[in-house]
């Protein structure tokens, strides 16, 4: 392949999306440079589980260190740059609003400035989010729906989104913003609700705990898809003739409670719901045991009640389609977690 091999640089390489995207780009013959934060502990488990760790050029890097990103951009001049690094846990953003702002907003300004200065031909992908719609102004949400973020995370991401659009319009940089709705997988962090649920049910299934799963707001509705499908959409955006903004979503919305019921089914529990609000419980009909209860500590200061995306633009312009359904995603996550615990025994 020699000189024609494309170079892709990915921040957030150790996260859920970083792993799936790297795997996809490697399969397309890319040279993948993974940027990771140096730390005392090794954070490469996901890349190792994907079996791709050895194929990625891992480079230690700090998004807050502008000199770092400038040097990297100058040295590599990547064909494509995917910014997947972020403080991405919405609930934590009320505890760490300033850090969230630095990582999720200033970090993007750092990258765009470095591209502008040292590698203006680099195509840039920004991981934008449906959290920007927050208190939704229309249902479903598409690229033209007004934004109304409901968390410091959503506010920081909104700045990054507009800066991406602005650098596209101001300097002609090929900068794309992907407004991705929730995307999950067996590689999802356990602080996010879907994986928290599947991991706990796998433990209950394997007899590794007998405690009920404790959750917050069961009424919130989310539009969940499979992360593996969504990373392909990121790449497709950078292969177009012109940079643009696209929504990627499953176009279905389900309450958290529904995901719990289905995940329970795949773990062997037949859950019925009793009570309301913070008194609500999920009981397994087979054993008559309480397997889910509400703990108000997981309620958020402001909630995003419903997200439902309309991806018609991505379907028609990118020819992007999700392959994994909501039920298949839930089944895949529960089964993988059960297998993981079985291996440990
Ligand atoms: O919460 C409710 C919670 O933390 C989903 C990130 O990737 O997607 C993700 O953000 C819903 C919320 O994801 C618990 O109140 C109830 O309504 O899984 P989550 P998120 O906040 O939607 C977007 C697109 C991003 O961009 C973000 O980076 O579930 N919920 N009980 C709970 N949530 C959590 N985490 N834990 C609970 O116990």
Which atom of ligand 1 is nearest to 300's Cα? 15
DSSP secondary structure letters along 220-286: -EE--EEHHHHHHHHHHHHTSSS--EEEE--S--EEHHHHHHHHHHHTT--EEEES-GGG-EEEETT
153 flagged as catalytic: yes
Q: What is the pLDDT of residue 41?
A: 79
Reported as a single tens digit per residue, the pLDDT across 1-12 is 556 999 999 999
Name residues contacting ligand 1 (CB within 6 A): 88, 90-91, 129-131, 181-182, 191-193, 196, 215-217, 220, 222, 256, 298, 300, 303-304
The one catalytic residue in 153, 167, 230, 246 is 153
Which residue's CA lies nearest to atom 33 of ligand 1? 193
**65 Cβ contact partners less than 8 Å away, ≥ 6 residues apart:** none
For residues 221 and 252, the answer to whether their CB atoms sit within 8 Å is no
Give CA separation, 235 vs 135, 138, 163, 178, 298, in Å. Answer: 29, 28, 20, 10, 35
Q: What is the pLDDT of residue 248?
A: 99
131 flagged as catalytic: yes
Reported as a single tens digit per residue, the pLDDT across 115-168 is 999 999 999 999 999 999 999 999 999 999 999 999 999 999 999 999 999 999
From the CA of 88, how far away is ligand 1's center (Å)? 10
For residues 158 and 326, the answer to whether their CB atoms sit within 8 Å is no
* Helices 16-27 and 227-238, axial angle in degrees (round to 10): 60
57 flagged as catalytic: no
Question: Which domains can be identified in the chain, with CATH numbers?
Answer: 7-185+225-251+308-324 (3.40.50.720), 193-220+255-305+331-344 (3.90.25.10)
The number of beta carbons lying within 10 Å of the beta carbon of residue 339 is 12
Which atom of ligand 1 is nearest to 89's Cα? 28
Q: What is the pLDDT of residue 47?
A: 97
For residues 147 and 133, the answer to whether their CB atoms sit within 8 Å is yes
pTM, two decimals, is: 0.98
Tokens of 204: 């209950």
The one catalytic residue in 122, 129, 194, 198 is 129
Which atom of ligand 1 is nearest to 194's Cα? 18
Residues of the chain with pLDDT under 70: 1-3
Q: What is the pLDDT of residue 142?
A: 98
Which atom of ligand 1 is nearest to 184's Cα? 7
Among 96, 181, 182, 277, the mutation site with the greatest number of ligand 1 atoms within 8 A of its Cβ is 182
């Amino acid at each position: 392949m020699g000189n024609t091999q494309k170079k892709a640089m990915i921040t957030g390489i150790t996260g859920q999306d970083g792993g799936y995207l790297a795997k996809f780009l490697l399969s397309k013959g890319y040279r993948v440079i993974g940027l990771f934060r140096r730390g005392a502990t090794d954070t490469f488990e996901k890349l190792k589980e994907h079996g791709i760790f050895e194929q990625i050029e891992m480079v230690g890097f700090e998004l807050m260190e502008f000199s770092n990103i400038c040097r990297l951009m100058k040295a590599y001049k990547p064909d494509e740059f995917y910014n997947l690094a972020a403080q991405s846990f919405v609930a934590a953003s009320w505890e760490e609003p300033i850090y969230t702002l630095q990582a999720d907003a200033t970090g993007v300004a750092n990258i765009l400035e470095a591209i502008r200065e040292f590698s203006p031909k680099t195509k840039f992908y920004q991981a934008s989010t449906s959290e920007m719609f927050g208190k939704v102004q229309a249902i479903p949400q598409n690229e033209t729906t007004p934004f109304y973020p409901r968390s410091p995370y959503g506010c920081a991401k909104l700045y990054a989104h507009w800066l991406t659009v602005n650098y596209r319009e101001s300097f002609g940089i090929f900068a794309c913003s992907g407004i991705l709705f929730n995307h999950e997988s067996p590689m999802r962090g356990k602080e996010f609700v879907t994986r928290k649920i599947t991991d706990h049910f796998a433990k209950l299934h394997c007899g590794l705990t007998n405690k009920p799963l404790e959750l917050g707001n069961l009424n919130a509705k989310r539009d969940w898809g499979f992360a593996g499908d969504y990373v392909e959409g990121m790449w497709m955006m950078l292969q177009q003739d012109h940079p643009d903004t696209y929504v990627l979503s499953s176009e279905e919305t389900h309450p958290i409670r529904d995901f719990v019921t289905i995940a329970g089914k795949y773990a062997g529990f037949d859950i019925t719901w009793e009570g309301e609000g913070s008194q609500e419980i999920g009981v397994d009909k087979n054993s008559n045991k309480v397997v889910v209860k509400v703990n108000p500590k997981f309620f958020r200061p402001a909630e995003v009640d419903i997200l439902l995306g309309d991806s018609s633009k991505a379907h028609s312009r990118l020819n992007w389609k999700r392959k994994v359904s909501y039920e298949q995603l839930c089944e895949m996550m529960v089964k993988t977690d059960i297998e993981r615990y079985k291996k440990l025994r």
